[in-house]
Amino acid sequence: MQKSNKSIAGYHLLMILSAVDNEFAPEEGIKIQQYLADEFPFRMNLDNELDTIAHLKPEEWKDHFEFHARCFLEDSVEEERVNFLTFAKSLIKADEQVNEDEHRFYLLLKNLWAL
């Protein structure tokens, strides 16, 4: 897998976080749109990224998530990681339900980044 920059890696992380409960709530879509607007002020074609994510099997999510967490880590400073974690938490809470898998992936991210 080719290394991603911080913004692309963040997109992958958020998309997997929104998918692990097997339900993509409209509120989560709004949060991801907010992330995209903040990270990509100019129009960016993410079709290839979305296609990659869409073709992942659930058993591949964890490895893909860890890979992109490391990409984000390499391209960020601690403050950016803390801010991203806060945003990720707001994403998994957006539908007012946090299931076990969402919580597990959130904690995985927090542990990978030693936060």
pLDDT at 61: 96
57: containing domain? 6-112
For the record, the structure tokens of 96 come out as 């007012």
* Domains held by the chain: number: 1
pLDDT at 56: 94
Q: Do the Cβ atoms of 50 and 36 come closer than 8 Å? A: no
For the record, the structure tokens of 70 come out as 């490391």
pTM value?
A: 0.93
Low-confidence spans in the chain with pLDDT less than 70: none
Residue 96 maps to a domain:
yes
Sign of CA dihedral 23, 28, 32, 33: positive
Per the listing, tokens 């409960």 go with 21
Residues 6+ apart with CB under 8 A from 19: 53, 61
